[in-house]
Each structure stands twice: as C-alpha cells, then as structure tokens.
Structure 1
C-alpha cells in the first residue's frame, strides 16, 4: 500500500495505538483479551481491533468531540506509510475503509465528515476506496501519485 523505510509490525500496533490515544487504555484491557489470537499477525485480530477504534471515533464524531482526531489520524497515516505490508493494509482497509463502512452502516454518519483529519497518504487511499466503491477499480490498481 504505502510502506517505506523501517517497517512497523503487527506486534507494535497496540502500543502505537495506546500512545496515540491514551484515553483508550482502560477499555483496551477488555478488548485485548477478546481480540487475542496467537495464530494472527502480532497475536491479535487486528481488523477487529481497528473496528473497535473506528467505532470509538464514530461515537466521538457523533458527540462532536474531535479532540483525539489529530492523534488518531496521525496514527493511521503512520501505519500506512511505515507499516509492513500487513500493517499498511490494516491502516487502509481496517481503519479507512472501516470508517467509510462502519459510520454509514451503524452510526448513520456521513463518512466524509472525517475528511478534514485525513493526512496526505490517507486522503489518497480514501479516494481510492471511494473509486473502488463507485466504479469497481481495485484499490491496488489505483495510482496514488
């Protein structure tokens, strides 16, 4: 997707998440056990973790509390830009596409309300996801430059 240089691995994602969004630390203790899976990258069901975070962000958006959004979107951009292939894809599909789908299906929010916080690479992937849903062009076939 977009990884360059040193790679963030799946094992590092939870610590990066909690560093970016320390308000989730207490709730994480409950989710950590639910989404643990020794057979998955990093020992976690990363896409379920992402759905949990996206749900949290959608709830915050619905409550007009965007105080964590800069840190959250920096975190997502970091995963996409610096993640190994799994982590980079997790940033795009787990977080960004999750925002587009989760906010529409379960929160009745316009996912475009997240747009002001998208970082440069995230914004390109966001558009690629939109194009995929509009015309069926596979995300991997869309040029991001």
Structure 2
C-alpha cells in the first residue's frame, strides 16, 4: 500500500489524539503529561516517544507499588493504539512504550513479565516481537 493510500485511510488514533484516552484511563499521568507538553511547547511536533518512555517509567513505578487498579483500562488503550492507530501510533506504542516496559534496567522490584497479565492479544503479539528482537535479533516488522 502506498503512503498516499495509508494517509487516506481513517484511523481512530494519530499523533494529535493518541494521549487523550490514555489520560482518561490514567488521570495520575496527567501532571507528567502537562509538564512534558510545557517542556516541548516550542517544538514543531511533540516528541511523543519521550512521553511514552515517561509513561513506561510511570507504569513500572505503579507496578512496584502495587498501584495497578487502572492497568486494565490503560492496556485497553494500548491495545486500541495497536489496532486502530495510524502507522506512527502503532510503531510508537511498540517501540516507545513496550520496549521501555521490557527494559530490565528500569525495573528494581519487578520484572517486565509482570505486565503480561494486562496485555491483550495484539499488544502481546508486539510485546513478543520486541522480546524476540532483543533476544535473537529477529526484526520486529
């Protein structure tokens, strides 16, 4: 499919709106999101991969403290990003979020696999691809 055809398709999520449902699912991330937006307010486009990295750290901290009551709703949004996002959103959800959630250096009292109970089918597929990439070098795409 050509890039023009991809751009002509209708997607539920793109760069402009991908964080709206996440902030509804996890209001505790809003303050960090607002600080991020303020920090990059002069940028032509927000570096959303950095925001997703911050989200990963936030979720890891919540996991460490047992504050997981919002995880079902949060990972429902992540699943929707993977299914209904434009190509940027899908890639960002995988490389920006899932890859950081799997980064063992970010975990102190937990391990990446502790997130598995909340991963839905499409997200789990991409989680596995990221894991295989780091374990064997197998390309993600």
Same fold (TM over 0.5): yes
Question: Corresponding residue for 2:32?
Answer: 27
Tell me whether 1:125 sits opposite 2:126 in the alignment.
yes
Taking structure 2 as the reference length, what is the TM-score of the superposition?
A: 0.85
Q: Tell me the CA shift for residue 37 of structure 1.
A: 5.6
Tell me whether 1:134 sits opposite 2:138 in the alignment.
no
Relative distance call for 1:133 and 1:68 in structure 2 (3 A) is: same
Partners of 1:31 and 1:71 in 2: how far apart? 22
Q: Is the 8 A contact 1:132 1:138 kept in 2?
A: yes
Question: Corresponding residue for 1:106?
Answer: 106
Partners of 1:112 and 1:89 in 2: how far apart? 21
Q: Is the 8 A contact 2:15 2:88 kept in 1?
A: yes
> SS of the residue aligned with 1:67?
coil
Question: Corresponding residue for 1:62?
Answer: 64
Tell me whether 1:6 sits opposite 2:10 in the alignment.
yes
Question: Corresponding residue for 2:3?
Answer: none
> SS of the residue aligned with 1:72?
helix
Relative distance call for 1:137 and 1:57 in structure 2 (3 A) is: same
Relative distance call for 1:36 and 1:48 in structure 2 (3 A) is: farther
> Residues 10-38 of structure 1, C-alpha deviation per residue, up to 9 Å, x if partnerless?
01022222122122223322222124463
> SS of the residue aligned with 1:11?
coil
> SS of the residue aligned with 2:107?
coil
